[in-house]
Structure 1
């Protein structure tokens, strides 16, 4: 049908252009944030691109919802501006008639949002947590950075190396501070190198001295050495010992309905329901004011999107803190948004006008 095909073609062009722009912006912002976190030691700098990919994947439901909303709002507003709506209205088509072609266009996007929200979000967040956990469990030698004090994985040693070779297996001016049960030691050496003995790795120091002090005593033992070996920890290959709600599968959230899990489940359900509601709100909000231009509608759409998704975030925290129940929140927010959108659409479709009753003039 001409009516349906015309709208869907224009929506596809607008949606595609908006998606390219938003993905580019999100990728750029994510890259900047990820590089900053890597520089602070949150995860391995070599994993920046992987972390960025997981982060963008976790943001895709929000991006797709926003692209769909902007595409609907901009296309229908343009049709008002170019007087195309007059033609469709004159042929017996009202605003409600746009709901069907819009959902026919949007249903594949809604399916993608559903799959992302319920299946791929935990995969993306789980991948990020695995990379961070693996970086936290790296070996002591992997933690050493020239010119920086670094703590060991167990937290009982502090390393410092002035500079090292390209292979990172040797270095100069090494400093190690160790705190054991009732003893503190400070070891310094002119040079050091890594040697493998059997299944263990040792940091072999050359030409240095060792200061040892027992806690609670003032005596300090000083010893010099030409060669001294210190056993260093290896990589911890154990699996991640915790699973945050964001990294839990939807089935696990349903099996264990704690407050945190219900908050995360409400967020995932909300991503899908919000996308559906934005289709109705986009039709109801479309229009054209010749004095204000198209920017007004797009600004309103952006404001409505920000408010709606902020309420999703707030609702998640409210459910986790027990301030509101899971079912009441879903009905109040998403049901209320749908009812408001349908009422607004019905008003515009039927040209309802709210008029205040006039006061009768007092007789002279």
Structure 2
């Protein structure tokens, strides 16, 4: 029990450090991308925190297997360097027992990865897509920046010269609306106003942009004729605040819905989600023999080959998912042969390590 707690603590502490670094790098990269989009006016800065939280399960389901794999390699490699495992072997710790000790924390990590991949990640992806879709489908004063042409949902482009001191009224507003052929009228509309503000009618939830003292032009590309309308007050409907567009995608579907769906893409997505917890156990089996190093070699001697092995594992899984989704590979066979190949490889590495002896 003492050895179990000691080994588990070493592996989990190392895994936590690796996972923290990887999560910081990945989330930092995604945050910079979203911050750049917010600076361009695609959505308000205030929703950045929510978007990062929604992405967290998707990051964790990919980071934790790799972090646990590296945690075993680094922790056990250090124990080999200090000859601590040599002492454990002398006290009766067999390779099989060491493997059992390794698989116990692997079970806890697999549960966390399974919760993320099967439930939290699809829900977070749906929330992220819905939030961005809602922001892109409406024109909001809070995301407009003076002196810029900014695109919004509905084929609109807006430009404002400046805001009033209290930030509630826009000055010198220019809005271009593009209507695709087949809509009610094929005109492009350009609206110019000296000022404008946004209002929401609470009884209906409708949002409007109210423009004052301006002109509205309707033109058809390729024709010389144009319509001109002058107004003192013009109201442009932007959309419903409470509207939420439904998103239909395999990525956002629940795991139960994917299980019942016989479509190849649905089966590929389901097998990918279910295979991530299994991947934790396979990596744990491969990591134990790979962590065995000679004290003269250093604890990082087998780290690079192990990383290449992980990259090959993940790449083959992604290729199998694409093949199943496109119908090139039978969904009944699925991605499970890839897990089986690396499981057999891990067992062969353990057998080879046992044959050499743990000296």
Q: TM-score under structure 2 normalisation? A: 0.85
Aligned equivalent of 1:102: 102
Task: Please give the residue correspondences for 1:210-221 in structure 2 after superposition, counting only pairs within 5 Å.
Answer: 210-213=216-219, 218-220=224-226
Aligned equivalent of 2:85: 85
Distance 1:181 1:102, change over 3 A: same
Task: Please give the residue correspondences for 1:136-147 in structure 2 after superposition, counting only pairs within 5 Å.
Answer: 136-139=136-139, 144-147=144-147
Q: 2:238 aligns with which of 226, 233, 248?
A: 233
Aligned equivalent of 2:210: 203
Instruction: Write the distance in 1 (CA, Å) between the matches of 2:41 and 2:159.
Output: 16
In 1, are the aligned partners of 2:114 and 2:277 still within 8 Å (CA)?
Answer: yes
Unpaired stretches in structure 1, ≥5 consecutive residues: 353-364
Aligned equivalent of 1:181: 185
Instruction: Write the distance in 2 (CA, Å) between the matches of 1:99 and 1:65.
Output: 17
Aligned equivalent of 1:288: 293
Instruction: Write the distance in 2 (CA, Å) between the matches of 1:333 and 1:42.
Output: 41
SS at match of 1:162: strand
Distance 1:75 1:190, change over 3 A: closer
Q: Cα deviation per residue 1:204-242 (whole Å; 9 max; x = unaligned)? A: 322x445455777634455656x2423332335333222
Shift of 1:136: 2.2
Aligned equivalent of 1:263: 268
Distance 1:23 1:217, change over 3 A: closer
SS at match of 1:293: coil
Instruction: Write the distance in 2 (CA, Å) between the matches of 1:316 and 1:160.
Output: 44
Aligned equivalent of 2:18: 18
Shift of 1:2: 3.9
| Structure of higher CA gyration radius | 1
Instruction: Write the distance in 2 (CA, Å) between the matches of 1:195 and 1:189.
Output: 16
Instruction: Write the distance in 1 (CA, Å) between the matches of 2:86 and 2:227.
Output: 94
Aligned equivalent of 1:191: 195
Q: Cα deviation per residue 1:70-90 (whole Å; 9 max; x = unaligned)? A: 221112212221222322333
Task: Please give the residue correspondences for 1:108-123 in structure 2 after superposition, counting only pairs within 5 Å.
Answer: 108-123=108-123
In 1, are the aligned partners of 2:82 and 2:295 still within 8 Å (CA)?
Answer: no
Instruction: Write the distance in 2 (CA, Å) between the matches of 1:12 and 1:91.
Output: 24
SS at match of 1:233: strand
Greater Cα offset, 76-85 or 227-236: 227-236
Shift of 1:173: 2.0
Shift of 1:44: 3.4
SS at match of 1:191: strand
Shift of 1:342: 0.3
Instruction: Write the distance in 1 (CA, Å) between the matches of 2:167 and 2:209.
Output: 14
Shift of 1:123: 1.3
Verify: 1:148 aligned to 2:136, yes or no.
Answer: no
In 1, are the aligned partners of 2:80 and 2:295 still within 8 Å (CA)?
Answer: no
Aligned equivalent of 2:39: 39
Greater Cα offset, 176-185 or 250-259: 176-185
Distance 1:250 1:194, change over 3 A: closer
Shift of 1:12: 3.3
Unpaired stretches in structure 2, ≥5 consecutive residues: none
Instruction: Write the distance in 2 (CA, Å) between the matches of 1:158 and 1:164.
Output: 17
Aligned equivalent of 1:76: 76
Instruction: Write the distance in 1 (CA, Å) between the matches of 2:226 and 2:336.
Output: 70
In 1, are the aligned partners of 2:55 and 2:121 still within 8 Å (CA)?
Answer: no
Give the superposed CA RMSD: 2.9
SS at match of 1:247: coil
In 2, are the aligned partners of 1:187 and 1:210 still within 8 Å (CA)?
Answer: yes
Distance 1:100 1:232, change over 3 A: same
Q: TM-score under structure 1 normalisation? A: 0.83
Instruction: Write the distance in 2 (CA, Å) between the matches of 1:65 and 1:310.
Output: 14
Instruction: Write the distance in 1 (CA, Å) between the matches of 2:138 and 2:107.
Output: 45
Instruction: Write the distance in 2 (CA, Å) between the matches of 1:4 and 1:196.
Output: 61
Aligned equivalent of 1:315: 320
SS at match of 2:287: helix
Instruction: Write the distance in 2 (CA, Å) between the matches of 1:297 and 1:122.
Output: 35
